[in-house]
């Protein structure tokens, strides 16, 4: 009986067959026609002040932004990654765009522009609370502002704060002041510093002591306006003994020009707290034939396990963007803290990804796990770049890294750069890496059993990514599978 | 059911099959025997539709339709099954998932409703028992880490599950011990039906002892040089392929 049970479990878990055949084109490429308020392109101190003023920010935050801006002027764009792109003209970007009717911010969903609600409906994001049977609280960020946060009341009951970042600045200034920049300082790197100067909105989460957040929290980011950068800032704090699981999704319209997305995410886990952060990124990847357009996704994500027994887990499924440049990292400061990174990165056609993680072990008996799956198809270039650092005092630190690459076709590339820096002899490090290709013999075999080439590829790719999908909540795992399937269409001819 | 006429096939300009004629009727089991390099496996792959083979001349009719105009998947959906000598390994994809995808692709093609996980599970459990495989195989990746015998039994399992009309078994007995050969032969016998046909390709006559072939053909250097009844197999076993070679020359 137990044996049968386990077989059935495996079947139900893995037989999530994807029923709907999705169209070959980027599905989220529509533009929403709403009245936008956009500030003119260009970046100087005035721009920073304008953004701050529009958000009616306190003086300390404006000062912080300006410090970042001045720092940024002294910095140079990094060029150490494997990605290649045309020079970005930072003066040609507009740093703030907002739907006009949202100028004062919506008080409830009734006040949200129906066009916007329609947009989110198209994206499959149910914002209307009555439809929220899935039990996921959503914060939706449209261009530069957060337009709606659902399930607020229920979360308030549990003491969880989940609101737009700009609201948190006013409603919870002490928390924001205490934690903003505490993990990713404004001096951190070129793109994070730029973000610190011009960030517009994002999500803020605080889970109080001993509280297990009663539902998944989710944010959807969408860039709509043309020639606009999106610079969101997310800050999540899990106080002692708390638990929170957070998901973000991203889409953008199809545009001929490249758009910059430079976000910063900071996670803080206190004693015995757990933060799970999952991303399903599907920004517009650019034209599949010419490589024109698409999002430059230059993101800094970092978490700190500040005190003992805390845990931070990153899961990412990166299928979109012309260029992805991100390394969600964990600083394992407390003793017995745990850091995890699970990643699927897919590059098809002209997409490039340079992604990985950094695990910094400071506390004793700390443990980190890195599982990455890179899939390259078309002319896609996929790079894993990871660093594991064991500091002097980190007795008995353990790391397990597994980096697998899957190649589809012969014009793509996979690259792996694992950096290991061990300064404590008691450390245990394990690293495994593999590269495989989807072979003609596998496709032939599947075809001979009546399985189409497309289904065979998606089946093999899903099998390849299984260990990572397992970390995602069910409905997102299904979405991730669908995304991979769409992103891979036409990759095997 | 299967009609092969004057089939000439080359690989990279090297002729392998040099004029094959073969007719297999419904209900029949034919064995094709021959030494290594005679073109046996090529024949199997050409029937399945493997693209690397170039058909220079001749035709293959399957239920009256031109098989050579169909791609691999179409042939499979229409009921052509091939048991591979070296089946592909598909890491990360468990057998249950793989088989369910295949079964439902075929059911869909036939206009039958797709099976859900529960129905499929009880269906495949019954078939597993027929080839003496236990349920733990369902959770294992397709052919990953399978022994030679396990791979062959898995091929027979798939034949029983997918319900094809024509089954071509390429060296299904190679590398098997006597128990495994019995299991495989037993699976083939269970498969046989009035409306189905089987082509068994083999080097040795061993497996034929457990089957009841209607006809035996000897393939040598790309040609069928002798066809006969069951006795031909015994004769070959005793005298070796060399004996026929001499008769051909003579």
Lowest-pLDDT range of A66-70, A139-143, A308-312, B205-209: A139-143
| CA pair distance B222, A310, nearest whole angstrom | 70
- pLDDT tens figures, A224-279: 555 566 788 999 999 999 999 988 876 655 656 677 888 999 999 999 999 999 88
Average per-residue pLDDT for chain A = 80
CB atoms within 10 A of CB B131: 23
Q: What is the C-alpha end-to-end distance of chain A, expressed in Å?
A: 44
Residue among B41, B79, B101, B122 with most chain A CBs within 10 A, to mutate: B101
Choose the closest CB to B76 out of A3, A12, A449.
A449
Q: What are the structure tokens assigned to A347, written together?
A: 């590059």
Q: What is the distance, to the nearest Å, from the Cα of residue A234 to the centroid of all Cα atoms in its chain?
A: 11
Average per-residue pLDDT for chain B = 91
Q: What local confidence, expressed as pLDDT, does residue A12 receive?
A: 38
Give the ipTM of the model, two decimals please: 0.95
> Are the Cβ atoms of B71 and A447 closer than 8 angstroms?
yes
| CA pair distance B226, B239, nearest whole angstrom | 14
Helix (H) or strand (E) holding B11: strand B2-11
Q: Is A4 on the interface with B (CB under 8 A)?
A: yes
Q: Is A107 on the interface with B (CB under 8 A)?
A: no
- Name which residue leads in pLDDT, B60 or A409: B60
Choose the closest CB to A448 out of B82, B98, B121.
B82
CA angle A17, A19, A22 (to 5 degrees): 120
- Crossing angle (nearest 10°) for helices A59-73 and A190-198: 150
Using a 10 angstrom Cβ sphere, with 0-12 exposed, 13-18 middle and 19 or more buried, the burial of residue A223 is: buried
Cα dihedral sign for A488, A483, A230, A30?
positive
Task: Residue window 444-463, chain A: list those with CB within 8 Å of chain B.
Answer: 444-453, 455, 459-460, 462-463
Using a 10 angstrom Cβ sphere, with 0-12 exposed, 13-18 middle and 19 or more buried, the burial of residue B102 is: buried
Chain A neighbors of B157, CB-CB under 8 A = none
- Crossing angle (nearest 10°) for helices B117-130 and B148-162: 120
A1 to chain B, closest Cα gap in Å: 12
- Name which residue leads in pLDDT, A21 or A463: A463
Give the global pTM. 0.79
**SS3 assignment, position B90:** strand
A443 to chain B, closest Cα gap in Å: 9
> Which residues are CB-contacts of B174 (< 8 A; sequence separation ≥ 6)?
B85, B148, B202, B203
Check pLDDT > 80 for residue A166: yes
A413 to chain B, closest Cα gap in Å: 21
**SS3 assignment, position A300:** strand
- pLDDT tens figures, B79-120: 999 999 999 999 889 999 999 999 999 999 999 999 988 899
Q: What local confidence, expressed as pLDDT, does residue B57 receive?
A: 95
- Name which residue leads in pLDDT, A145 or A4: A145
Using a 10 angstrom Cβ sphere, with 0-12 exposed, 13-18 middle and 19 or more buried, the burial of residue B221 is: middle
| CA pair distance B174, B191, nearest whole angstrom | 20
3-state secondary structure A104-167: CCCCCHHHCCHHHHHHHHHCCCCCCHHHCCCCEEEEEEECCEEEEECCHHHHHHHCCEEEEHHH
Q: Is A15 on the interface with B (CB under 8 A)?
A: yes
Q: Residue B216 has what DSSP assignment?
A: E
Chain A neighbors of B168, CB-CB under 8 A = none
| CA pair distance A312, A273, nearest whole angstrom | 8
Chain A neighbors of B50, CB-CB under 8 A = 444
**Cα nearest neighbour of A438 on chain B:** B90
Task: Residue window 163-222, chain B: list those with CB within 8 Å of chain A.
Answer: none
Choose the closest CB to A464 out of B92, B118, B162.
B92
B90 to chain A, closest Cα gap in Å: 7
**SS3 assignment, position A413:** strand
> Which residues are CB-contacts of A131 (< 8 A; sequence separation ≥ 6)?
none
Helix (H) or strand (E) holding A305: strand A294-305
- pLDDT tens figures, A427-455: 999 999 988 888 889 999 999 999 998 88
Q: Is B112 on the interface with A (CB under 8 A)?
A: no
Q: Is B10 on the interface with A (CB under 8 A)?
A: no
Q: Is A23 on the interface with B (CB under 8 A)?
A: no
Check pLDDT > 70 for residue A147: no
| CA pair distance A448, B73, nearest whole angstrom | 6
């Amino acid at each position: 009986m137990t044996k049968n049970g386990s077989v059935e479990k495996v079947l139900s878990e893995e037989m999530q067959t994807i029923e709907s055949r999705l169209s070959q084109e980027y599905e989220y490429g529509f533009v929403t026609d709403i009245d936008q308020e956009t500030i003119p392109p260009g970046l100087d101190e005035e721009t920073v002040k304008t953004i701050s003023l529009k958000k009616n920010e306190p003086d300390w935050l404006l000062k912080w932004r300006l410090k970042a801006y001045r720092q940024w002027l002294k910095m140079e764009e990094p060029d150490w990654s494997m990605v290649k792109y045309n020079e970005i003209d930072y003066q040609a970007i507009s740093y703030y765009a907002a739907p006009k009717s949202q100028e004062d911010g919506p008080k409830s969903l009734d006040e949200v522009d129906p066009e916007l609600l329609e947009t989110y409906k198209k994206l499959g994001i149910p914002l209307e609370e009555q439809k929220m049977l899935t039990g996921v609280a959503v914060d939706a960020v449209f261009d530069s502002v957060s337009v709606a946060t659902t399930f607020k009341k229920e979360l308030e009951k549990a003491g969880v704060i989940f609101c737009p970042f700009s609201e948190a600045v006013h409603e919870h200034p002490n928390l924001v002041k205490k934690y903003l920049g505490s993990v990713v300082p404004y001096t951190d790197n070129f793109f994070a510093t730029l973000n610190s100067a011009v960030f517009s909105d994002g999500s803020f989460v605080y889970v109080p002591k001993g509280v297990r957040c009663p539902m998944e929290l989710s944010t959807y980011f969408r860039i709509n306006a043309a020639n606009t950068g999106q610079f969101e800032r997310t800050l999540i704090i899990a106080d002692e003994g708390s638990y929170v699981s957070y998901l973000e999704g991203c889409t953008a319209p199809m545009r001929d020009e490249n758009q910059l997305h430079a976000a910063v995410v900071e996670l803080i886990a206190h004693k015995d707290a757990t933060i799970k952060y999952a991303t399903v990124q599907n920004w517009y990847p650019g034209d599949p034939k010419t490589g024109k357009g698409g999002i430059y996704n230059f993101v800094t994500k970092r978490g700190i396990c500040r005190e003992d027994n805390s845990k931070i887990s990153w899961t990412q499924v990166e299928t979109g963007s012309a260029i992805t440049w991100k390394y969600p990292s964990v600083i394992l400061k407390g003793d017995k803290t745990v850091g995890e990174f699970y990643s699927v990165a897919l590059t098809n056609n002209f997409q490039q990804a340079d992604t990985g993680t950094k695990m910094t072990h400071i506390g004793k008996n700390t443990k980190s796990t890195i599982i990455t799956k890179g899939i390259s198809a078309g002319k896609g270039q996929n790079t894993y770049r990871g660093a594991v650092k064991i500091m002097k005092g980190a007795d008995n630190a353990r790391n397990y890294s597994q980096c697998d690459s899957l190649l589809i076709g012969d014009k793509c590339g996979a690259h792996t750069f694992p950096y290991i820096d061990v300064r404590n002899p008691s450390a245990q490090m394990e690293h495994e890496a593999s590269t495989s290709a989807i072979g003609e013999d596998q496709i032939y075999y599947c075809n001979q059993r009546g399985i189409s080439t497309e289904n065979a590829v998606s089946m093999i790719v899903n099998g390849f990514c299984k260990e990572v999908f397992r970390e995602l909540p069910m409905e997102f795992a299904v979405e991730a599978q669908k995304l991979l399937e769409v992103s891979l269409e036409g990759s095997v001819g | 059911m299967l009609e092969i006429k004057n089939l000439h096939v080359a690989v990279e300009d090297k002729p392998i099959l040099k004029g094959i004629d073969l007719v297999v009727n419904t209900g029949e089991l034919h064995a094709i025997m021959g030494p290594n390099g005679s073109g046996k496996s090529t024949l199997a792959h050409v029937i399945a539709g493997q693209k690397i083979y170039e058909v220079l001349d001749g035709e293959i009719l399957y239920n009256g339709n031109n098989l050579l105009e169909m791609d691999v998947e179409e042939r499979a959906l229409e009921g052509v099954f091939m048991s591979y000598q070296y089946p592909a390994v598909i890491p990360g994809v468990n057998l249950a998932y793989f088989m369910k995808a295949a079964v439902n692709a075929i059911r869909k093609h036939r206009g039958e409703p797709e099976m859900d996980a529960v129905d499929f599970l009880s269906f495949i459990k019954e078939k597993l028992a027929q080839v003496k495989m236990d349920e733990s195989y369902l959770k294992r990746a397709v052919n990953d880490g399978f022994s030679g015998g396990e791979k062959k039994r898995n091929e027979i399992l798939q034949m029983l599950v997918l319900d094809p009309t024509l089954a071509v078994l390429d060296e299904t007995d190679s590398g098997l011990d006597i128990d495994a050969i019995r299991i495989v032969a037993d699976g083939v016998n269970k498969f046989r039906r009035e409306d189905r046909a089987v082509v068994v390709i083999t080097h040795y006559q061993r497996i034929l002892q457990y089957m009841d072939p209607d006809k035996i053909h000897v393939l040598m250097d790309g040609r069928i040089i002798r066809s006969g009844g069951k006795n031909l197999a015994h004769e070959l076993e005793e005298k070796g392929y060399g004996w026929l070679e001499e008769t051909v020359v003579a």
